[in-house]
Amino acid sequence: MPDTALSPAPEACAGFPIEEALCEIVSNDAVNAEYRLMIARAPEAALRARAGQFFHLLCPATEAGQPFLRRPMSIYRIDPARGEIGFLYKVTGKGTRGLATLRPGEMLNALGPLGRGFTLPADTRHVMILGRGVGLATMAPLARLAAESGAAVTAVLSARSPELVMSRGELEAAGARVIEVVDTDGSSAPEEMEPRLAALHAERAFDYIATCGSNRLFRLARGLARSWGIPGEIALEQHMGCGLGMCYACVIPVALPGGGEEYRRVCWDGPVFTLEEAKGW
C-alpha cells in the first residue's frame, strides 16, 4: 500500500514509533443496536501495535458539528497478514457519531499506536479475561497474544442482555473458551460469578487475570488475583486531550507498593495498569 504517514511523532512507550497516518476504511458496520466495528487498512507502524494499546482518532464532522478533540480508541483487531486494524466502538456522542459516517474507501486519520499494553508474565499457561461492553474491544487482541505464547484462554463476556454480548466469534477464533454472563438472568452478578470462576480455577489453575469495562469486574478480578496469588492487569478508560502525555488531562491516582498514591497519565503510563495499582473509577 502507499505510504500514508502524515508526520512522525515521538517514540511510543512500547518502543515503537508513533505515526499520524491516513487509513483507508474497509468496512464500518453495526454489530448490534449499540456498537459498530470499523476495519481500516493501516501502515506498518500501526500493525506493530500491542494488545491494550490505542489510537487517537480524528472524527469527521457531522450536522452536530466538528469534534474539537480526537477520540481514544482501543485496538480490537490487529491483522498484519491483511494489513488491517479494527476498532469496536459504541456510538454515544459527537465524535463516535462522526466515526459512524465513514464509508469504505474514505480515510481515517489515526495517531498511534499509543500507551502501554498488556504484559503477560513469562511461562503464563492459563489466562482469564473478564470484559464487559466496549471493554471487550481491548480484550480481544490479548487472547491472540496469549495463544501465540502458548497459553490457554478463558474469556468471560458480560453484558446487559444476550443480544448485547459481543466478541464471541473473535475470541473463539483466537482459541479462547468463551463464557457469557448477562444481567437479565443474574449470571453477571459478582456473587454469582465468583464461585463459578473459582470452580474453573480448581479445574485448571489460572496464572494471570485481565479485565476492562466494569468497576465491579475490576473488584472481582482483584479479589480473585489476591486470593489465588497471581498477577493481573486492567485497561482503564479515561477522557483524554492529547493522548501523548503532554496535557495531563487524563491523570488518575494509582496505589504505590509501600502505601500512599501518586498521579499517573492513563494515555502514557497506561492505559494498562496492574490490578494492585488501579483504584477503580
Tell me: the pLDDT tens digits for 178-224? 999 999 999 999 999 999 999 999 999 999 999 998 899 999 999 99
pLDDT-derived band at 9, boundaries 50, 70, 90 = very low
pLDDT of the residue at 6: 41
In the listed set 72, 88, 114, which residue is the last one of a domain according to the structure?
A: 114
8 A C-beta contact, residue 146 and residue 126: no
Q: Please write down the HEC assignment for all residues of the chain.
A: CCCCEEEEEEECCCCCEEEEEEEEEEEEEECCCCEEEEEEECCHHHHCCCCCCEEEEECCCECCECCCCCEEEECCEEECCCCEEEEEEECCCHHHHHHCCCCCCCEEEEEEEECECCCCCCCCCEEEEEEECCHHHHHHHHHHHHHHCCCEEEEEEEECCHHHCCCHHHHHHCCCEEEEEECCCCCCCHHHHHHHHHHHHHHCCCCEEEEECCHHHHHHHHHHHHHHCCCEEEECCCCCCCCCCCCCCCEEEEECCCCCEEEEEHHHHCEEEECCCCCCC
pLDDT-derived band at 138, boundaries 50, 70, 90 = confident
Reply yes or no on whether the pLDDT at 64 is more than 60: yes
pLDDT of the residue at 279: 81
Average pLDDT over residues 166-189: 93
Reply yes or no on whether the pLDDT at 227 is more than 90: yes
- Residue 133 shares a structural domain with residue 221: yes
pLDDT of the residue at 281: 56
Number of domain units in the chain: 2
State the CATH number of the domain containing residue 148: 3.40.50.80
Q: Is residue 264 part of a domain?
A: no
State the CATH number of the domain containing residue 21: 2.40.30.10
- Residue 100 shares a structural domain with residue 168: no
- Residue 69 shares a structural domain with residue 145: no
- Residue 60 shares a structural domain with residue 105: yes
Q: What are 155's strand-pairing partners?
A: 129, 178
- Residue 66 shares a structural domain with residue 144: no
Reply yes or no on whether the pLDDT at 22 is more than 60: yes
Average pLDDT, the chain: 90
8 A C-beta contact, residue 236 and residue 273: yes
Q: Is residue 277 part of a domain?
A: no
Q: Is residue 86 part of a domain?
A: yes
Reply yes or no on whether the pLDDT at 168 is more than 70: yes
pLDDT-derived band at 2, boundaries 50, 70, 90 = very low
The range of the structural domain enclosing residue 27 comes to 17-114
Q: Is residue 265 part of a domain?
A: no
- Residue 133 shares a structural domain with residue 194: yes
Percent of the chain with pLDDT over 70: 94
pLDDT tens digits along 254-281: 999 888 999 999 999 999 999 999 986 5
pLDDT of the residue at 237: 87
- Residue 145 shares a structural domain with residue 219: yes
In the listed set 62, 91, 114, which residue is the last one of a domain according to the structure?
A: 114
- Residue 103 shares a structural domain with residue 162: no
- Residue 134 shares a structural domain with residue 230: yes
pLDDT of the residue at 42: 93
Q: Is residue 210 part of a domain?
A: yes
pTM score > 0.85 for this model? yes
Q: Is residue 247 part of a domain?
A: no
- Residue 77 shares a structural domain with residue 22: yes
- Residue 110 shares a structural domain with residue 144: no
Reply yes or no on whether the pLDDT at 67 is more than 90: no
- Residue 103 shares a structural domain with residue 182: no
Q: Is residue 121 part of a domain?
A: no
In the listed set 87, 114, 141, which residue is the last one of a domain according to the structure?
A: 114
pLDDT-derived band at 16, boundaries 50, 70, 90 = low
For residue 78, give the C-alpha cell: 490487529
pLDDT-derived band at 15, boundaries 50, 70, 90 = low
Reply yes or no on whether the pLDDT at 54 is more than 80: yes
Q: Is residue 71 part of a domain?
A: yes
